[in-house]
Amino acid sequence: MKGFKFAGVAAGIKKNSKKDLGLIFCDAPAAAAALFTRNRVTAAPVILGKEKIKQGRVQAVLVNSGNANCFTGEKGIEDARACSRLTAEALGIDSDLVMVSSTGVIGAHLPMDKFETGVPCVVAELSGQAEQFEKGVEDFSEAILTTDTCRKIVRETGFILGKPFTILGMAKGSGMIRPDMATMLAFVCTDVQITSSDLKTALTWANEKSFNRITVDGDTSTNDTLLALANASSGVRIQDGESKIIFQEALDTVCQDLARMVVKDGEGATKLVRISVKGAKTNQDAFKAAEAIAHSNLVKTAIYGEDPNWGRITAAAGRSGAQVAMEKMDLFFDDQALVIQGKWQGIEAEKNTAKIMENKEINITLDLNLGTRSDAFLFCDFSEDYVKINADYRS
């Protein structure tokens, strides 16, 4: 993918000397679009980013982990501006073209001395040649992680009129995951030629069925950002209807794969679960029921315990606000029916279900049998480790 460079270094922002400062650089300004958290408590880089993205062009993105620069007042905004400026100076570009993102602990000021030494280092690290490109992608993807246990990288190639284009997505996220119209940190780079307005539309669609349909713990981050950059280096133009569809499909795949990786790497998670709600009367009902099930701590702990406790699933649907009728509900684990028309299917069905629950990935389908609407959520189970990770997070 020509024209993009990536790097990641350990700048000492995290206490554990892991990589914590990442950089994306485009040879020339790229068309850019972004979605941000709807949380009203918003990190300084998000406040700044909302302003900067209006111009629709970005050339560099500096991302730090270990500190969210959130709830840091006027000084937080100044610090974020200083990070842009440091990066722009080291790269020799206009600081208006630099976006910054932060993730980590809320409420502490950025250690600016670490940025003063770190930014020149990460700029120097920028991968130039082909053999360094992959290393750059890996280093960047590592530098943006917090409690994540693995890097999250997705690459998708598509063809328009026989010409190939690429979308490369990188994300972080493991806890405080309940995106609300946006996401944790995710960066999508593509070599197509597209206007920033069309990119925003495509990104909004992709987000709606990916990052907006996942949950780890029901908490929405203050720093959620999904940023897309398109640098036109492939020569593929996204303009007419057909090219838009092909690009959208590729972008959907990247966002959905990244979202899936985030949930799979959920704090303390041992299983990945997809809850599909079918047969709802309205789209809203399908969403509400799926969301309530995906958020239920009782459902999540039962899945961790590999207990086919279907009463908790149906009870969560019942309290969701969605229209439901007990005597109509069907419930499946993979293809195994556990409840049909509100009736438990017996001990054999339950034993088969318990067997299915031993798998690492589980598909649950709740058919409300009241209409034709459906929706789905990805979520993870809830183990003692989630509690351990979050009771000790700052110490």
In terms of CB distance, is 180 or 361 closer to its own copies? 180
- 70, 227, 246, 366: residue in contact with its own copies (rule CB under 8 A): 70
Specify the stretch interacting with its own copies by CB under 8 A; choose among 8-16, 82-90, 106-114, 242-250. Answer: 106-114
195 three-class SS: coil
**Which residues, 6 or more positions from 127, have their beta carbon under 8 angstroms from its beta carbon?**
5, 6, 7, 133, 135, 136
Return left, alpha or beta for 197; rule: phi > 0 is left, psi -120 to 50 is alpha, else beta. alpha
Q: Which stretch binds its own copies (CB under 8 A): 127-135, 256-264, 274-282, 382-390?
A: 382-390
With contact defined as beta carbons under 8 Å apart, do 68 and 24 qualify? no
Helix residue ranges, H only, 15-97:
44-52, 73-91
Among 15, 17, 54, 73, binds its own copies (CB under 8 A): 73
Q: Which stretch binds its own copies (CB under 8 A): 12-20, 94-102, 105-113, 150-158?
A: 105-113
Q: Segment 43-62, which members bind its own copies (CB under 8 A)?
A: none
Q: Which of 27, 28, 311, 328 binds its own copies (CB under 8 A)?
A: 311
Binding positions for its own copies, 251-290, rule CB under 8 A: none
State how beta strands 214-215 and 152-160 pair.
unpaired
Q: Pick from 51, 131, 240, 392 the residue near its own copies by CB under 8 A.
A: 392
- Run of H or E residues at 167: strand 163-172
Site string for its own copies, 335-374 (x = CB under 8 A): ----x--xxx------------------------------
Could you say which of 240, 327, 348, 358 contacts its own copies (CB under 8 A)?
Answer: 327
- Spatial separation of the C-alpha atoms in residues 92 and 88, rounded to whole Å: 6
Tokens 């485009």 sit on residue: 26
Q: What is the spatial distance between Cα 23 and Cα 120, in angstroms, rounded to a whole number? A: 11
Q: Which two tokens stand for residue 67?
A: 């500190």
Stretch that binds its own copies, among 17-25, 82-90, 254-262, 320-328 (CB under 8 A): 320-328
Task: Note whether 382 binds its own copies by CB under 8 A.
Answer: yes
Minimum CB separation from its own copies for residue 271, in Å?
A: 12
Interacting span for its own copies (CB under 8 A) from 85-93, 153-161, 172-180, 204-212 = 172-180
Does 309 help bind its own copies (rule: CB under 8 A)? yes
In the bound complex, what is the minimum distance in angstroms from residue 330's beta carbon to its own copies? 13
Task: Check 183, 190, 215, 365 and give the catalytic one.
Answer: 183
The sign of the torsion formed by the CA atoms of 353, 356, 357, 358 equals positive
Tokens of 93: 């570009």
Q: Half-sphere exposure of 371 toward its Cβ, with a 13 Å CA cutoff?
A: 14
Q: Look up 222 and say whether it is catalytic.
A: no
Provide the 8-state DSSP code for 310.
H
User: Rounded to whole angstroms, how far apart are CA atoms 270 and 149?
Assistant: 12
92: Cβ contacts below 8 Å, ≥ 6 apart: none
Would you name the residues annotated as active-site residues? Answer: 183
Binding residues vs its own copies (CB under 8 A): 38-42, 68, 70-71, 73, 105-108, 175-176, 178, 180, 217-222, 295-298, 301-302, 304-305, 307, 309-312, 314-319, 322-324, 326-327, 339, 342-344, 382-384, 386-388, 390-395
